[in-house]
Structures are given as structure tokens and as C-alpha cells.
Amino acid sequence: MIDRAQEGRDVLLVPMLVYGAASLVHHVHNAVFLADYPNMPAWITPAYVCAAWLVVAAIGVVGFLLRRRGWRVAGLLAVGIYAAYGLDGLGHYGLAPVSAHTFTMNLTIWLEVGTALVLLMTVGRVAARELGSSRR
């Protein structure tokens, strides 16, 4: 029989992988076409973009591993942080409007944001189920 923590890990795995792939696509596109993204700060370099993705992906992996080892709350928190970072892509629109970005830029931004939202909702659902059941 599978316990609730194991069931929650299984529920998180697919949205984590899908968001991770979408985030990677956006970051790679951002790094390769950085000069084309409107109004990007000069201090952001392709290496910085890649390093940011690696750090955030590591947070997601750590969160998944923490949950796997039974640290449910810490794992959910780390996975939530991992997912919340995906909303940072909306910052592109603080620098320039949607219309200033190419179709592909907008596609990769919204793909990352959308999959991040799905993962955040999944984390919330798992947290409500697991943490709510531990209070009973």
C-alpha cells in the first residue's frame, strides 16, 4: 500500500519535470538571444541566465529528495520556491510590453509561467492534503 507522502511525491513528479523542461527552454532561449530581449539589464549575461537556472533546478531537486526522505514540509517548501521562481519570467513584461517581445520570447515566457502555476497549485493541493491529514 502506498502512503500519502509517496502518493504526493508521485503527484509532484510530472509537474516538476514539465516545469523544469519549460524553464530550461525559456532560460536557454533567453541566454542565446539575450541581446534581443528588450531592455535587459547589462549585468545579466548568458552565463548568469544559465547559472540561475542551475541554482533553481537544484532547489527543485533538493525539495523532491527531501520529500523522498520524509521531510514533507521542507520538501514542499523547496518545491514551492522552485515553482514560484517560474513566475519571475513575468518580469520581462516589467521591462517591456508583450508587444516588444517576439512570438518565441512570449511563448517561452508563458510556457514557463503556466507550468510554474500548475506546479504551485499541485504543491498547494499536496500540502493541504498531507498537512491537513497530519492534524487529525
What are the structural domain ranges in the chain? 4-131
- pTM score of the predicted model: 0.88
Helices (H), the chain: 4-32, 46-68, 72-85, 92-95, 103-134
For the segment 115-125, the average pLDDT, to the nearest whole number, is 97
| Cα angle 70-19-110, degrees, rounded to a multiple of 5 | 145
C-alpha distances in Å from residue 94, one per residue of 40, 53, 57, 101: 10, 20, 24, 12
Across residues 57-68, what is the average pLDDT?
95
Copy the grid coordinates of residue 134.
497530519
Residues 6+ apart with CB under 8 A from 20: 57, 60
Residue 1 has pLDDT above 50, yes or no: no
